[in-house]
Structure formats: structure tokens, C-alpha cells
Structure 1
């Protein structure tokens, strides 16, 4: 039986985070464009995910994940504070 998601006050740090056009994403897009590659932004794929940009000619989807998601010791949170982690 699947458990239902329970809204808690433990996850407000996720509420205001920027998900599109972050600085690393914009810098990467500028460099890719400088190489002469053309791309589309935030195109939904058949698997219901939305990459940051897609290179359609090369059939490549690019996801730019930052320090938070990869657990960077310098920029990421000290520990992951998932809202339902204690359940």
C-alpha cells in the first residue's frame, strides 16, 4: 500500500528555489551556443521529465543539477532535510 504525501513544515527551504535559468544553466547554454550548437529550452519529454535544454539534432537532453542535489560539502545543505524523511 502506497503511503500518502504528508505536508509538513520541515521543507520550506525547497519552496522558493529557482528551477529555471539558474546561473550555471545560463553559463552552460552560452558556451554551448558559442560552439555553434542550437538547442530548445525546457522541452517536456515522453518520460514526463523536463530537461533544462535539448539538442534535438544530436538527440541529447541536458539536466543541470546544482550543489543542493549533489550534496556539495561547500554549497549544499549539511544534511538532507526531506519533509517526510522521518516517516
Structure 2
């Protein structure tokens, strides 16, 4: 069984974004693993495994314009099904 079943990926576009601040917010407020928050002050790429992807999307949308959103169910993928 996969502990965190949703592979959540997206881009955040905005101004004065801080990958360090975003990373720390994730660590303090969300349960999950495999966190990646990289980019610059105008564009941040997020990759995160969680059971509550909607919370991640809500936060990211509050700090910038989110796009290229992908949420895949890794439990389904592990069974050979479309995620």
C-alpha cells in the first residue's frame, strides 16, 4: 500500500515567489513526501505526494496563478490502471 497516493505536480506563476518559503509552508502544513519546490521569483515547479491534493492546490492558487496541474493516483498506477 502506498502511504501518500496522489502524485501532485503543478506550476505556480507570480511575482516575488520564494521556493524556500513555499517549501517550508508545505513541510509545516501538509502531510506527504517527495517534495520538490524549485524555480525563481516568477515561476515555481511543485512536485509532492499527498493524500490531500486539493489542499495543495488551494494553497498554491492563493500565492499565484497555477497551471499545468497534474494529479495522478499512484495506487491505481501500481495496479496497471490509468492514474
Bigger helix fraction: 2
Same fold (TM over 0.5): no
Between 1 and 2, higher relative CO (CA 8 Å, sep ≥ 6) is seen in 2
Which entry has the higher C-alpha Rg, 1 or 2?
1
Bigger strand fraction: 2
Name the TM-score, length of structure 2 as normaliser. Answer: 0.28
